[in-house]
Chains A and B, each alone.
Chain A
Amino acid sequence: MKNKAKFDFGVAKLPGNTELGSPTGGGNFYIFKKSSAEEKAAALKLVKFMTSPEQAAHWSKATGYMGVGPSAYETDTLKAYVKEFPPAAVARDQLVHATAELSTHEAGRVRKFLDDAIQAALTGQMSAKEALTDAQKQAKSTLRRYQ
């Protein structure tokens, strides 16, 4: 990415008001329950290879994506790269401010309740507290069936 960019660019942590934050997300590897033992073993082998420190470092350097494990940053490849090009480590350094992704049944719907609450608070329809209480109530009612 750095090689192709024909313009100046910089990388910085997200600014924060009362606390810093970091959005998280990304791709996943899955191994299916119903696969044969052979397929599972092969899949595991691939996952191990793809997430190995050396591969993660290579991937990070080539694409600008964050190294997917602390060990990736311990490899010579990334160590040298970060030294030469410090912005490569910003995403990792920011990660200490991240929280776990919301994980629940009906995730799409629950997230929408939160979005609605944010919109209600930003447009002045409700106070932040009211809006979030409302969202919690709706989420609880939606999740009732999974208890």
Chain B
Amino acid sequence: MVLSMLKRFNLKAWLLLLPALSLLIAFTHWPTIKSFWRSVTWARSDAAPAKFVGLENYQILLDDPVFWKVLENNFWYAIGTVPTSIALAIAMALWVNSKIRFTGLLRLAFFTPTILPMITVANIWLFFYSPNIGLFNQLLALVGIEGPNWLGDPDIALSSLMIMTVWKEAGFFMIFYLAALQTLSPELFEAAKVEGASAWRMFRKITFPLLMPTTLFVLINALLNAFKLVDHLFILTKGGPNNASNLLLYYIYETAFSFLDSYYAATLTVVMLVTLAIIALVQMLLIDRRIHYR
């Protein structure tokens, strides 16, 4: 009797799943559910009990100009960093995959930004971007150009962050493309060469389509990173000036740990989760179908 019940429950399978499942539930699913719950409650202070307020937090969110600003910033940040770093990653991968000397050194050089901790990197870039004494403005001064205030000017602060992000991300994505390139069969290219195809045509018709599975993977990661990456904001701009470079996750951090408003932070978190889920779904459903897997 007991034995047959155990069989029905697939006890062994559940036991095997248990370690992974308990971690997943404790650190992913439970916090998600709690965030949802928290986003529909509110309390005047930490000491007061939270009460159910329905969609009031979301109403406030819709009226919050800073929320719209960080959302817009995040949109441009994604548009600005994702395609550029992917294109650069492919170019770099093609280059270090070719038969030239010192490829090992080149690969290392391209990959270095990935190894470095973001906070350290941001401090170095802070020096690059400093007005007057910064590296960029000193170089510009050599050719007689007065450089901008890279991080202090609201019109270019976000772009300055994007440049650094591309530098940081491209090398990491290059590794995936490099791995993919090395699995491509040389026979395809030999055949193409016999047919007299140009290098560009070979790239467009053979290399790029065969890299598509990698591109989807990289695209999802790059988009998620565009929402996840905020370490540099702590060092470089703190979202300023006047929220010109503020991003959604940094705003959540600020709300939760500077303003100590965990309810509104939860509301913002829910919006972020939903946004990311939609992005991932669209990518998987729409793009995945059009990719050639071998």
Contacts and interface: CB of A to CB of B under 8 A. Distances in A.
A84 to B, nearest CB: 41
Contact of B44 (A116, A120, A138, A146): A146
Interface in B250-294: 254, 258-261
B150 to A, nearest CB: 13
B153 A123 contact: yes
A145 B260 CA distance: 16
A116 B259 contact: no
Interface in A115-147: 115-117, 119-120, 122-123, 125, 138, 141, 145-146
Contacts, number: 39
A120 B65 contact: no
A119 B240 contact: yes
A119 B246 CA distance: 13
A109 interface: yes
11 contacts: A105-B44, A112-B254, A116-B240, A119-B240, A119-B241, A123-B242, A125-B242, A138-B66, A141-B63, A145-B42, A146-B44
Interface residues of B, number: 19
Instruction: Give the size range of A's interface with the partner.
Output: 10 to 19
A109 B153 contact: no
B243 A116 contact: yes
A66 to B, nearest CB: 28
B240 A109 contact: no
A126 B276 CA distance: 33
A129 to B, nearest CB: 15
Interface of A: 105-106, 108-109, 112, 115-117, 119-120, 122-123, 125, 138, 141, 145-146
A125 B154 contact: yes
A109 B258 CA distance: 8
A145 B53 CA distance: 11
Interface of B: 42, 44, 60, 63-66, 152-154, 240-243, 254, 258-261
A117 B241 CA distance: 9
A123 B154 contact: yes
Contacts of A119: 154, 240-242
A135 to B, nearest CB: 10
Chain A contact residues, majority secondary structure: helix
A108 B242 contact: no
A125 B242 CA distance: 9
A116 B64 CA distance: 14
Given A138-B65, A141-B63, A123 B259 contact: no
A112 B258 contact: yes
B153 A112 contact: no
B65 A122 contact: no
Contact of B241 (A105, A123, A141): A123
Contacts of B64: 141
Given A138-B65, A145-B42, A120 B242 contact: yes
Contacts of B65: 138
A37 to B, nearest CB: 22
B241 to A, nearest CB: 4
A141 to B, nearest CB: 6
